[in-house]
A and B are shown apart, each in its own frame.
Chain A
Amino acid sequence: MKIAVYLWACFFSESLWASEYATQVNNVKVELVADRYELNADLNFQLSPVAKEALHRGIALTWALLVKVEEKGELWNHTVQSLGMDYQIQNHALLNLYSLKRLSTGERSVFSTLAGALNSLSKIRRIPVLDKQLVRLDRQYSVAVKVKFKRESLPIPLRPFSYFDAQWALSSQWTLWPFQQ
C-alpha cells in the first residue's frame, strides 16, 4: 500500500518536480475595497526552453490561478472561499503576436512580445475574493495562492510525458499569505 502511495506521489505530486522553472508567487495582498476584499499579487513566470519552444510552435499554455481564503481553526483551517481563474497564452506566428486570454471571461489581450504577455499575466490586480459580510472580525484569516500549470490542456501526445519532465513543472507551490482585515 505504501509503495502504491509513493508511486502515485511520484507520478502526480508536483512538489517532487519543484524545478527552477516553477512559477513564484510574490507580494500577495488582500485589500478591502468598498464591500469586498480584492487580491493583488505579483507572479514570476520562468518558462523552460521546452515550454518556450512549444509556445512558439503554436501550443497554447494554460495556467490556473487558485485562491483559497482560509479561516484559522483550532485543529485545522476551514476554507471559506475557493476560486480559480484560467489564463492562456498563445502565439500567432503569422501576426507575430502573443495573445493572453482569460478563459473564464473570454477577455483577451494581444502583445507583440512574449515578455509583454508574461508581464501582463504576472500582475494580478483587483481580483475579488471575498465579500466583507463573510469575514468575522473575531477570527483570523489567511489567503493561499497557487499558480498551477495545466498539463491537461497540452496536446494529448504531450500530456503523459509532461508529468515526468521537469521542463513542464511550471506550477508554483501553495503559498500562504496574511489576510488583512
Chain B
Amino acid sequence: MGAFKSVDIMALSTVKLPVNLSIIILFGLILLSLQLMSSATQDASELNDMYSWLLVGNSLGSIVLLILIIINVYSLARELKKREAGSKLTTRMISLFVLLAIAPAAIVFYFSIQFINQGIDSWFNVEIDRAMEDALELSEESLDQRKRLHLKHARMLAKEVVGKSQTLIALEMGELRERVEATEIALFSRRGHVIASNSVDSNDILPLLPSEHVWLQVRQNKEYVTFNQMDDDSLMIQVIVHVDDDEPRFLQLLFSVPVRIADLADSIDFAFVRYQEMAFLRHSLKNSFLLLLSLVLLLSLLAAIWVAFISIRHIVAPVKELVKGTQAVASGNYRKQLSVESQDDLGFLVESFNEMTLRIAQSRDETKAASAEVEQQRAYLETVLSNLTAGVVSFGAEYEIKTANQAAYRILHIPVSHFVGQTLLDIIVLHPQLTQLWESIQGLLEEAGDLWQQRFAFLGPNGRQELLCRGTPLFSPLGQRVGTIVVFDDVTDLIQAQKNAAWGEVAKRLAHEIKNPLTPIQLSAERLQHKLAAELSESSAQILQRSTQTIVNQVEALKSMVDDFSEYARPSKKQVELINFNQLINEVLALYILQTDIRIVTVFSVENVVIEADPVSIRQVLHNLFKNAQEAMAEKGQIEIKLDKVTRNNTEYAEFAVYDNGCGLNKEKAETIFEPYVTNKPKGTGLGLAIVKKIIEDHGGVIWVDTTYNKGAGFIIQLPIVLI
C-alpha cells in the first residue's frame, strides 16, 4: 500500500508540475510586460522608445488570452449542451470566480480613474496659471530690460564710430567693449565681412557670425537684438545695430547674461514649459492613464480567468471522474475503479469510491451466488414437485395461489399455475365445471385449523374423477400462519380397480356356485318332462310341459348371466398382437350397416392406426358399443363413429368415439354407467359397459362418457398407438 501511494505521489508531481509551471511562467511574463510598460512611461527610461510596442505587445497578449478564454467558454458550452459530467460544477465555479474577480477589480478601476482624474485636475488651477504666467512675464521683463539697455549701449557706440577709419576703430574696439561691459564686439561691412573685432576671451579670434536669416532682419530693421544660447549653454544677448556712415556698416555686440539670472530664467522657462506641456497633455494624460490601467486590469483579469479555467478544470477532473464512476455503478458496473491522481480531499474521496465499488462488487457476487443457490434449490424443488404424481398447490395467507405443479394440471386439466396470485374463487369464473370442488377446498382452507384430508368426486373432461386431498397449514418461524399446502391424488383408478376386483370376485363365485347346480336342474326338469308327460292327463301334461320349459328357459337365462359374469371376471388381455384399428372397426361395422335403417357415419381423421391389443377383446368392445347405440335408437337414427389421434403426457393415443342420437344418459347415470349392474336397458344385465371398461383399461386405455354431447349418448375411448 505504501509503495502504491509513493507511485501515486510521483504520478501527481508529473501531472501537476507542467500546469503550475505554465501558470507561473504566464504570470511572470505578464508581470514583466507590465513592469516594462510601467518603466517605459518614465521619461528617463531607455524603454521610453519602446512604449508603443509594449502597448501593442500587451494588447496582443490580451487578445490571445481573450481568444483562449473564448475557446474555453465555447468548449464549456458544448459540454453543458451535452450534459457532460462536471460541466455544471465547472460553470458554477468559473462564474463565481469571474464574479469575485471582476467585482473588486471594477470597483478599484472606477475609483482609480476617479482619483487619477481628480489628481490630474488638481495640478491645474487659475492661481498656478497666473503665477506661472507672472513668473514668465517677470523674467521676460527682466531680460527685456537688459536687451533694451544693451541696445542703448550699442546705439551709443554706433554713433561713436561714425566717420572713424577702420584702423582707428580697430584700435578702439577693446576700449569700446570694456566701456559697455560687452563680451565681444565686432564691426561688419555691408556685405557682412568682419572689419574689426574684440573679445573678452583673447582666444576667440573669430567673432560670432550672424546667419543669413539674421542679416535679413538687420537689413530690414536696421537693428537686431536677440538672446543667443551658446554652445556652452551660456545665455548671450546679441545686438546688431546699423552704423550710419557713408559706407553702411554694422556693429555687433555680445553681452553675457549673468549666470544667476540665466539659471533663474532657465529654471522659470523649464517650469513654465513643463507646466504648459502638462496643461496641453491634460486630457491625453487622463486617457493615457485610463488606457494603461484598463490594459493592466484587462490583462490581469483575462490571465486570472484563463488560469481559473485551467485550475478549475484540474480541480473538477476528479469530480468528473467520480460522476462518471457513479453513473457506471448506477448502470451496473460495480467493478469500476478510478485512478487516484491526488492525495488531497478529492483523492481521499476517489479512494473511498474505489473501496465502495469494491465492496459493492463483492456483495453483489455474494448475493449472486446466494441467489443462484436459492434458484438452484427452487428449481430442484420445482423439478421434484413437477415430477410428483400428486398435485401440489400452495396457498398464501389470503388463500391466494402461490405455486402449483404440473401434476395439478394433469389431474385437474386446468393450468392452475397460471392463476398464481388469485384465489380459487377467481378460477370459478373461468372454469365453472369445478365450482363444487373449488368451493369445498376454499371452505376447508378458511375453516380448517389443522391438517385435514377429504375425498372429492367431480365430473372431469374424461369422466368421473375422485380426488384424495390433504391440506397442511404452513407457519412462519414466529408461529404465524402464512398459508396452506394442498396435496391431492387422483384416486379414481385406484377406487375403480378396487371395485373391479370386488366385482370380479363376486362374479367368479357366482359363476362357480350358480353354474354348477344349473345343469342338474335343467336335466332334472327335462327328465321329469320325459318321464311324466305320458302318464299325465293332457291338461296336466301341458302344465308340466310349460313348467319344465320355464325351468329350462330360466336355467338358460341364468347360464347366460353366469357366462357374462365369467366373462367379466376373466382376464381380457389374452393374445396380444398388432392390429390395424381402422380395419378392425370397419370389419365390425360391416355387420351392422345392413341390419337396420340406422345410418352409420364414420369420420376417420387418421388412417392405419396400429394398436397392440387382443383382437377378440377389442371386437367385443366394439360390438358392445355399437349394439348399445343400436338399441338406444330403436332401429332408426344415426351413429357417428370418429377416429382421431391425440397426444397426452407425451404419448400418442387413438381416440375412438361413438355418438348416437338416442335417448342419452342423465348426469347421475353417466357417473355410474361403467359399474356392474348399472344399465339403461330393461333387459340388460348391466355388465356390458363394465366389461368394455375393464377390457379398455386392461389395454392401457381409458373410456368415459362425453358429457359435452347432448344429442344422445357419446362414448370416447383412448388407446395407446404403437405406430401410425
Contact = CB atoms under 8 A, between A and B. Distances in A.
Interface in A134-181: 151-152, 155-161, 163
Interface in B211-255: 211, 213, 217, 226-229
Contacts of A151: 52
Contact of A59 (B55, B217, B277, B289): B277
B52 to A, nearest CB: 6
Interface stretch (A23-31, A39-47, A109-117): A109-117
User: Closest 7 CB pairs between A and B?
Assistant: A58-B273, A157-B288, A94-B269, A57-B280, A57-B276, A157-B284, A157-B285
Given A58-B277, A112-B226, A155-B281, A94 B288 contact: no
A55 B538 CA distance: 191
Contacts of B281: 155, 157-158
B124 to A, nearest CB: 13
Nearest to B284: A157
A49 to B, nearest CB: 12
B227 A97 contact: yes
Contact of A156 (B51, B140, B273): B51
Given A94-B268, A99-B229, A59 B280 contact: yes
B263 to A, nearest CB: 12
A152 B52 contact: yes
B280 A54 contact: yes
Given A94-B139, A94-B143, A120-B213, A157 B276 contact: no
A156 B280 contact: no
A95 interface: yes
B272 interface: yes
Contact of B284 (A96, A108, A161): A161
B156 to A, nearest CB: 24
Interface in B263-283: 265, 268-269, 272-274, 276-277, 279-281
A70 to B, nearest CB: 28
A92 interface: yes
B280 to A, nearest CB: 4
Nearest to B226: A112
17 contacts: A57-B276, A57-B277, A58-B277, A59-B280, A92-B273, A93-B272, A94-B140, A95-B227, A97-B227, A99-B229, A109-B211, A155-B43, A156-B288, A157-B288, A158-B284, A159-B52, A161-B287
Contacts of B55: 160
Given A156-B40, A156-B288, A159-B51, A92 B280 contact: no
A166 B640 CA distance: 124
A160 B277 CA distance: 17
A97 B280 contact: no
A53 B213 CA distance: 24
Contacts of A99: 229
Contacts of B52: 151-152, 159-160, 163
B143 A111 contact: no
B227 A155 contact: no
B49 interface: yes
A116 B228 CA distance: 16
Contacts, number: 84
A95 B269 contact: yes
Given A59-B277, A161-B287, 17 more contacts: A56-B276, A57-B280, A94-B139, A94-B143, A94-B265, A95-B265, A97-B226, A99-B229, A108-B229, A109-B213, A116-B213, A155-B284, A156-B41, A157-B284, A159-B51, A159-B52, A160-B55
Nearest to B267: A94
A133 to B, nearest CB: 33
Interface in B177-214: 211, 213
Interface residues of A, number: 30
B136 interface: yes
B291 interface: yes
Nearest to B137: A94
A160 B284 CA distance: 9
Given A94-B272, A156-B40, A157-B285, A110 B280 contact: no
Contact of B48 (A93, A96, A156): A156
A152 B285 CA distance: 16
A112 B288 CA distance: 34
A94 B280 contact: no
Contacts of A116: 213
B57 to A, nearest CB: 13
B228 A110 contact: yes
Nearest to A117: B213
A7 to B, nearest CB: 10
Nearest to B139: A94
A57 B51 contact: no
Contacts of A92: 269, 273
A58 B275 CA distance: 9
A99 B231 CA distance: 13
Nearest to B49: A152
Interface string B69-96: 0000000000000000000000000000
B34 to A, nearest CB: 15
Interface string B300-339: 0000000000000000000000000000000000000000
A90 B169 CA distance: 39
A157 to B, nearest CB: 4
A157 B287 contact: yes
A153 to B, nearest CB: 9
A79 to B, nearest CB: 24
B280 A53 contact: yes
Contacts of B279: 57
A114 B284 CA distance: 25
A110 B284 CA distance: 29
A161 B284 CA distance: 8
A93 B269 contact: yes
Interface in A61-91: none
A155 B213 contact: no
Contact of B213 (A108, A111, A158, A160): A111
Given A93-B272, A94-B136, A110-B226, A155 B51 contact: no
A3 to B, nearest CB: 12
A159 B48 CA distance: 11
A116 B213 CA distance: 8
A93 B276 contact: yes
Given A58-B276, A157-B287, A93 B136 contact: yes
Contacts of A58: 272-274, 276-277, 280
A97 B273 CA distance: 13
A110 B229 contact: yes
A150 B140 CA distance: 32
Contacts of A93: 136, 269, 272-273, 276
A17 to B, nearest CB: 15
Contacts of A156: 40-41, 43, 48, 51, 288
A98 B274 CA distance: 16
B482 to A, nearest CB: 83
A111 B143 CA distance: 17
A121 B291 CA distance: 35
Contacts of B41: 156
A97 B217 CA distance: 15
A21 to B, nearest CB: 18
Contacts of B288: 156-158, 160-161
